[in-house]
Amino acid sequence: MQYMLLIYSDPALEPAYGTPEFKEMMGGYFKLNEVMKADGTLRGGEGLQGVETATCVRLRQGKVETMDGPFATTKEHLGGYYIVDVPDLDAALKYAAMIPSVAYGTVEVRPLMDYNPNGN
Amino acid sequence: MTASDAIAVTRAVEAVLRQDRGRLLAALIARLRDFQLAEDALQEAAISALTHWGRSGMPASPQGWLLRVALRKAIDRLRSSQRDARKTADLSHLAVDEAAEDTADDIPDDRLRLIFTCCHPALDAKSRVALTLRSIAGLSTPEIARAFLDAEPTMGQRLSRAKAKIAAAGIPYAVPSPEDWPDRLQSVLAVIYLIYNAGYSMGPQAEASSHRDLCAEAIFLTRLLVQLRPDDPEIEGCLALLLLTQSRAPARHDAEGITIPLAEQDRRLWDRTAFDEGLALIHRAMDRRSPGPYQIKAAIAACHMADPGPDWPQIAALFTRLLDFEPTPVVRLNRAVAVAEAGDLSRALDEVSDLATTLSEYQPFHAARADLLARAGQGARARAAYDRAIALAPSAADAAFLIRRRDSQPI
């Protein structure tokens, strides 16, 4: 099964760039990437730029509305994601717990939609 | 078939399912990998049994018969749903060996996997409790709804949502690996403890109603765990805790149904068989030298019941040890009470006042604080604390007990 691990955190609580904590966090991410690659489970993953760069779009009454800012105004923002291919939820939760951001944020684990469950 | 035959067959089917529903369901889920399909197929097989057993008599192994028929029903369902969807998956791995006459002993016992799936931390706590009672203990949805004061459709939806999540989220149907075992076992034991507590807090009113005895169900589940995974000290500790607590049940209420605190109970009413079994279990568990929260709680229960009276310094020490595993305000509150009983009332009151904010909505906090204030001779503050405890009391029996205490306070 494929799962997306969505990484949410409050930028104010993240370690600041250049501090030893920041280095440690990045080291944790590099290490996790290596583990996932060695396990052959990593299908993708990216980090996102901050929410100050976000723009929202919607179509209302046939008119495109464009707005500055993220979709939801919460303290914790989506900051990045991984997609892993593993046998079950427990395996996905293991990787989620290894994401350095769990120490100050939250990782949401969601199975990807399977559009072709029987593989035809 | 006469009416009395029909009743006899219905009773026989019910008896088999009461005893072996969990085992049959676990075996079906292991093969079908689909919770809902397994439940529906077992239900259909039970309905078939009513006709067939009435006509041809009871099969040699009713369990084997139900398992085979349920598997056949499930395969029929899968085939017809695949025809609709023009899909063809291989169902041969599900094939039923028609010649085999399974006996109950031949059915592999997959209940441990089922328990761990039902108690998976990815499900919310109430759903874990409901799913465990439904799947392993075999309670009906209306019985579970009544026990937790939910409307029946609400409980039905909760169970459906939980089963749907198990399938969609890929919650494994497996006994956890040794490295995950301790954490996941705590999740299972927490579910059992919640079930026991739900039965316990109903008090004597439950006996008078049509409620299933949840205390007995919790003990049944823990005994099952001991049987499925012998020699685990935390499972033994949990069973010891439940048995020791349960052994006091006959002494817990007076004739009017009002709660009698442990210190004032007539010890001759305690159930010696349950008490002795609990005590033997906790000794056996602690000899394994791998302490855990349930063993410590069972040891605390045993110290409470020591002859001729509770060993309070030992209880306070055990709560300190419990804080290593569960650093919670509730454990701190319990330790404070033990410290007071062991003779240090002022230290206990200090500890309790530190907890006032975090435990402001927790009924036992107000009851314990009221009691400590009363002992310290602070009557007015004690009465106010009793008022709060009475307002938050979980049962009429507890409220009546606290009202009696409050009204005995000097003004």
Q: pLDDT for B295-335, tens place per residue?
A: 999 999 999 999 899 999 999 999 999 999 999 999 999 99
Measured between alpha carbons, how far is A84 from A92 in angstroms, rounded to an integer?
7
Total count of domains within chain B: 2
Asked if the Cβ–Cβ distance from A89 to B122 is below 8 Å, we say yes
Specify whether B119 is located in the same domain as B225: yes
A112 interfacial to chain B (CB closer than 8 Å): no
What average pLDDT is seen over chain B? 90
In a domain, B207, yes or no: yes
The CATH number, out of the four listed (3.20.20.70, 3.30.70.1060, 3.60.21.10, 3.40.50.2300), of the domain defined by the range A2-111: 3.30.70.1060
Asked if the Cβ–Cβ distance from A118 to B89 is below 8 Å, we say yes
In a domain, B245, yes or no: no
In a domain, B364, yes or no: no
3-class secondary structure, A80: strand
Measured between alpha carbons, how far is B359 from B361 in angstroms, rounded to an integer?
5
Specify whether B11 is located in the same domain as B80: yes
The closest CB to that of B172, out of A3, A89, A118, belongs to: A89
Specify whether B78 is located in the same domain as B148: no
pLDDT of residue B177: 92
The answer to whether residue B205 scores a pLDDT higher than 70 is: no
Asked if the Cβ–Cβ distance from A90 to B180 is below 8 Å, we say yes
Q: What is the arithmetic mean of pLDDT over B361-383?
A: 93
| B158-170 tens-digit pLDDT | 999 999 999 999 9
B230 interfacial to chain A (CB closer than 8 Å): no
pLDDT of residue B389: 95
What pLDDT band is residue B146 in, cutting at 50, 70 and 90? confident
Choose one of B230, B257, B274: the last residue of a domain.
B230
User: Nearest C-alpha of chain B: how many angstroms from A12?
Assistant: 26
The answer to whether residue B127 scores a pLDDT higher than 80 is: yes
The answer to whether residue B256 scores a pLDDT higher than 80 is: yes
Q: Which helix (H) or strand (E) holds B52?
A: helix B35-56
Higher pLDDT, A86 or B207: A86
What pLDDT band is residue B94 in, cutting at 50, 70 and 90? low
Measured between alpha carbons, how far is B190 from B201 in angstroms, rounded to an integer?
16
Phi, psi of A79 (to 5 degrees): -115, -10
Q: Name the token pair of B139.
A: 């309670």
Provide, as residue numbers in chain A, all residues whose Cβ is less than 8 Å from the Cβ of B122.
89, 93
Provide, as residue numbers in chain B, all residues whose Cβ is less than 8 Å from the Cβ of A92.
170
Burial class (CB in 10 A: 0-12, 13-18, 19+), B210: exposed
Domain interval for residue B139: 111-168+178-230
Specify whether B123 is located in the same domain as B218: yes
Higher pLDDT, B55 or B105: B55
3-class secondary structure, A6: strand
Prediction pTM value: 0.85
Q: Cis check for the bond before B153: say yes or no (omega within 30 of 0).
A: no
CATH classification at residue B67: 1.10.1740
Provide, as residue numbers in chain B, all residues whose Cβ is less than 8 Å from the Cβ of A118.
87-89
User: Nearest C-alpha of chain A: how many angstroms from B122?
Assistant: 9
Contacts of B184 (CB under 8 A, 6+ apart): B116, B119, B120, B121, B176
B87 interfacial to chain A (CB closer than 8 Å): yes
Measured between alpha carbons, how far is B51 from B57 in angstroms, rounded to an integer?
10
- Give the pLDDT of chain A (120 residues) as one tens digit per residue: 999 999 999 988 999 999 999 999 999 999 999 999 999 999 999 999 999 999 999 999 999 999 998 988 888 999 999 999 999 999 999 999 999 999 999 999 999 998 876 665
Interface with chain B: mutation pick from A1, A5, A89, highest number of B CBs within 10 Å: A89
Q: Which helix (H) or strand (E) holds B237?
A: helix B233-247
Using the Cα atoms of residue B248, residue B251, residue B256 and residue B261 in order, give the sign of their dihedral. Answer: negative
pLDDT of residue B93: 64
A-B contacts (CB, under 8 Å): 28
Location of structure tokens 């976000």: A54
Specify whether B69 is located in the same domain as B145: no
Specify whether B49 is located in the same domain as B151: no
**Spatial contact of B234 and B296, defined as CB atoms under 8 Å apart:** no
In a domain, B22, yes or no: yes
**Percent of chain B's residues with pLDDT above 70:** 91
In a domain, B294, yes or no: no
Length of chain B: 411
Specify whether B126 is located in the same domain as B225: yes
Tell me which DSSP letter residue A51 carries.
Answer: G
Q: Name the token pair of A109.
A: 């684990």
pLDDT of residue B193: 95
Phi, psi of B211 (to 5 degrees): -65, 140
Q: The complex's ipTM?
A: 0.86
Q: What is the arithmetic mean of pLDDT over B371-381?
A: 92
Provide, as residue numbers in chain A, all residues whose Cβ is less than 8 Å from the Cβ of B169.
89, 111
The answer to whether residue B196 scores a pLDDT higher than 80 is: yes
